[in-house]
Amino acid sequence: MRILLTHGYFLEEDAKEQAIMRPYVPLGILYISAYLEQHGYDNEVFDSTFSSFDKLCARLLQQSPQVIGIYTNLMTKLNVLRIIQFIKGTTELQHTKIILGGPEVRNHALKFLEHGADFIVSGEGEQTMLELVQFIAGTYTGTVSDIEGVSFLDTTNTLQQNKERTKLKNLDVLPLPNRHKVNLSRYFDAWKHRHGTSTISVSTMRGCPYSCKWCSRAVYGQSYRRRTPVKVVDEIAHIKANYPVDSLWFVDDVFTVSHIWLEQFTREINRRNLVMPYECITRADRLNEEVIINLKKSGCFRVWIGAESGSQKVIDLMDRRVEVEQVQQMIQLARKHGLQAGTFIMVGYPGETQEDIYATVQHLKNADPDLFTITVAYPIKGTPLYTEVEDRFVTNLPWETSTDRDIDFTRTYNRKYYDYAIQMINLEVHFHKALKKPVANLFRLPLLKLRSTLAKGHMWMEARKPAN
């Protein structure tokens, strides 16, 4: 059976991502690839990141696969629809069964099926994909209705959603992702050229036990399951032995959620002399001095500590369950122990006022992170935030030509206000940092202050216009 796995992300089409240039391999389909091989099904991975839509179409025509599995998220949705349209409109590919998985499909299953997908996989994909492949090959002992985690249209074009698949309890049974199926040197070169060092992504856990209203848990759910430290260090040993890479990026939502796990990981990686530089994401309430010391000992050079806002009111509205002061303290403590600290900021959350935005500015000045990113809040279908603002949507865009990122809703201020707010926050914080070296920034300081003042003026004017 000819099986092709892809993800429909084309870096050449994304100017913003080209500017950032932090591409990561599609770990999800590499896990599925390895799992299928483990059970006797060879497959090809078409890594679209450094390729193009036309080259993917050419490969489909050349291979004429019986099954194509496509990872689908917010960023790739529109390209996935293009791929489906190409397959369904090409005579030579009419036999190809299209299977979609990933975070975008659970809450849009019917739409994707109506646009040509044959099967939707909700949740973890390894076992479900294997059983679907067996069904298509004619070796599955039951019917398609028996395969947990699958949605499809029946003979009357009615949506059928099978029973939810039970989440894997023991992640150690999974094989290592099939990294050899992609050209990792393309990723390493891109990182080296832009950032000076190369990196490779690693997953140690699935799920997140927290309840942030804006966060999607469409694949792994609100759970916490983790590979044992020994298995993770085994993977790091494999990476060091096979790839000329400088650092690791742990993609886990909350790397330090278990202090016991981190302590065991730190002990194991040092025992085997496999310490390797890495960065990770966590929460302030899952940090303390001992945890930060273990991060440092195990190779961490940068820790991202979620905050989202400097206003406790907004954090509480998000159901973030963390204290602003604690975030500031942990960022400072991480830096004290020689780690770089990054943080995330979100503006435009429902209920946020100008006072809250200025509280965020002060928060960033107090915390003084090495790095921070800012986004405007947007609702993802299936999240509590989406439900909360659905009756306030001001956009009514066609599903097939838009994503949830394009949705806007009635906020405290209009959308342009938040663009200026982002400018102001960046300028104010950079001005604050530049003040620490006034001589070196003698000419830069007045320019930063002028631009910040202008951004504040634009915010003032936009605040007096209708919200939407």
> Per residue in 320-338, pLDDT tens?
999 999 999 999 999 999 9
Cα atoms found within 13 Å of the Cα of residue 216, Cβ hemisphere only: 20
Q: Are 449 and 417 in contact (CB under 8 A)?
A: no
Token pair for residue 270? 């040092």
**Dihedral of alpha carbons 95, 96, 99, 105, sign:** negative
According to DSSP, the residues that pair with 202 across neighbouring strands are 250
pLDDT at 435 over 80: yes
DSSP string, 288-333: -HHHHHHHHHTTEEEEEEE-B-S-HHHHHHTT----HHHHHHHHHH
Token pair for residue 305? 């500590």
Mean pLDDT rounded to a whole number for the chain: 96
Which phi and psi (to 5°) does residue 376 adopt?
-95, 130
Token pair for residue 132? 């679907």
Residues 6+ apart with CB under 8 A from 418: 347, 348, 376, 411
Q: What pLDDT, in 10s, does the model give residues 203-222?
A: 999 999 998 999 998 899 88
Rounded CA-CA distance 26/72 in Å is 11
* pLDDT of res. 152: 98
Using DSSP's 3-state secondary structure scheme, residue 184 falls into helix
Q: What pLDDT, in 10s, does the model give residues 165-200?
A: 999 999 999 999 999 999 999 999 999 999 999 999
Using DSSP's 3-state secondary structure scheme, residue 140 falls into coil
Residues 6+ apart with CB under 8 A from 460: none
Q: What pLDDT, in 10s, does the model give residues 364-413?
A: 999 999 999 999 999 999 999 999 999 999 978 999 999 999 999 999 99
Q: What pLDDT, in 10s, does the model give residues 30-73?
A: 999 999 999 999 999 999 999 999 999 999 999 999 999 999 99
DSSP string, 264-283: HHHHHHHHTT----EEEEEE
Rounded CA-CA distance 269/23 in Å is 26
Considering only CA atoms, which of 118, 105, 104 is closest in space to residue 153?
A: 118
Higher-confidence residue: 332 or 15? 332
pTM, two decimal places: 0.94
Considering only CA atoms, which of 23, 334, 70 is closest in space to residue 190?
A: 23
* pLDDT of res. 395: 78
Token pair for residue 449? 């202050």
Mean pLDDT of 84-112: 97
* pLDDT of res. 432: 95
Rounded CA-CA distance 124/448 in Å is 47
* pLDDT of res. 410: 94
* pLDDT of res. 150: 98
Domain architecture of the chain: domains with CATH: 3-161 (3.40.50.280)
Mean pLDDT of 141-146: 95
* pLDDT of res. 91: 96
Share of the chain above pLDDT 70, in %: 100
Sheet of 247-250: strands edge to edge?
A: 199-202, 247-250, 278-283, 300-306, 340-347, 371-376
Rounded CA-CA distance 48/221 in Å is 27
Mean pLDDT of 443-467: 94
Q: At what angle do helices 259-271 and 289-297 cross, to 10 degrees?
A: 30
User: With the CA atoms of 378, 383, 388 and 391 taken in that order, what torsion angle do they form, in degrees rounded to the nearest 10?
Assistant: 70
In the block, residue with structure tokens 């780690």: 339
pLDDT at 467 over 90: no
DSSP string, 328-391: HHHHHHHHHTT-EEEEEEEE--TT--HHHHHHHHHHHHHH--SEEEEEE--PPTTSHHHHHHGG
> 310's torsion region: left (phi>0), alpha (psi -120 to 50) or beta?
alpha
Element (H, E) at 8: none
User: pLDDT-derived band of residue 440, with 50, 70 and 90 as boundaries?
Assistant: confident
Q: What pLDDT, in 10s, does the model give residues 268-308?
A: 999 999 999 999 999 999 999 999 999 999 999 999 998 89
pLDDT at 468 over 80: no
Mean pLDDT of 133-161: 96
Rounded CA-CA distance 276/299 in Å is 5
C-beta neighbour count of 45 within 10 angstroms: 22
- DSSP letter for 257, please: S
Rounded CA-CA distance 31/124 in Å is 10
